[in-house]
A and B are shown apart, each in its own frame.
Chain A
Amino acid sequence: MKITRKHFLRLSGLSLLAAGCKQAVRPATQPVSAAGNASQQPIHWGMVIDLGKCREKEGCKACIHACNAAHNVPQIADRAHEVKWLWTETFGTVFPSAQNNFAPQRDAAAMVPLLCNHCADPPCTRVCPTQATWKRDDGIVMMDWHRCIGCRYCVAACPYGSRSFNFEDPRPSIASINPDFPTRTKGVVEKCNFCEERLARGLKPACVDACPQHVFTFGDLADTDSEPRQLLRERFAVQREPELGTGPSVSYLV
Chain B
Amino acid sequence: MRDRIWIFAGLAVFVAALTCPAWDALANAKASSKPPNLVLPANEKECVAPAGTMRAAHMKMLIQWREDVVRSGDRRFVAFNGKVYEKSLTRTCLGCHNKQQFCDRCHEYSGVSGPYCWNCHNDPQAVARSTP
Taking Cβ atoms with an 8 Å cutoff, the residues of A that contact B are 136, 142, 144-146, 176-185, 196, 200
Contacts and interface: CB of A to CB of B under 8 A. Distances in A.
Contacts, number: 36
18 contacts: A144-B70, A145-B120, A146-B70, A176-B131, A177-B122, A177-B127, A177-B130, A179-B123, A180-B90, A180-B91, A181-B122, A182-B120, A182-B121, A182-B122, A183-B120, A185-B116, A185-B119, A200-B73
B92 to A, nearest CB: 12
Task: Please classify the interface of chain B as helix (H, G, I), strand (E, B), loop, or mixed, using the class held by over half of its residues.
Answer: helix
Majority secondary structure of chain A interface residues (helix, strand, loop or mixed): loop
A171 to B, nearest CB: 9
A200 B130 CA distance: 29
| A-B CB proximity, top 7 nearest | A179-B124, A182-B120, A179-B122, A185-B119, A179-B127, A182-B121, A144-B70
B73 A196 contact: yes
Given A176-B131, A177-B127, A183 B70 contact: no
Contact of B131 (A136, A145, A177, A181): A177
Interface of B: 66, 70-71, 73, 75, 90-91, 116, 119-124, 127-128, 130-131
Q: Which of A176, A179, A180 has the most CB of B within 10 A?
A: A179
A146 B66 contact: yes
Given A178-B122, A184-B120, 19 more contacts: A136-B73, A144-B70, A145-B120, A146-B66, A177-B130, A177-B131, A179-B90, A179-B122, A179-B123, A179-B127, A179-B128, A181-B122, A182-B120, A182-B122, A183-B122, A185-B120, A196-B73, A200-B73, A200-B75
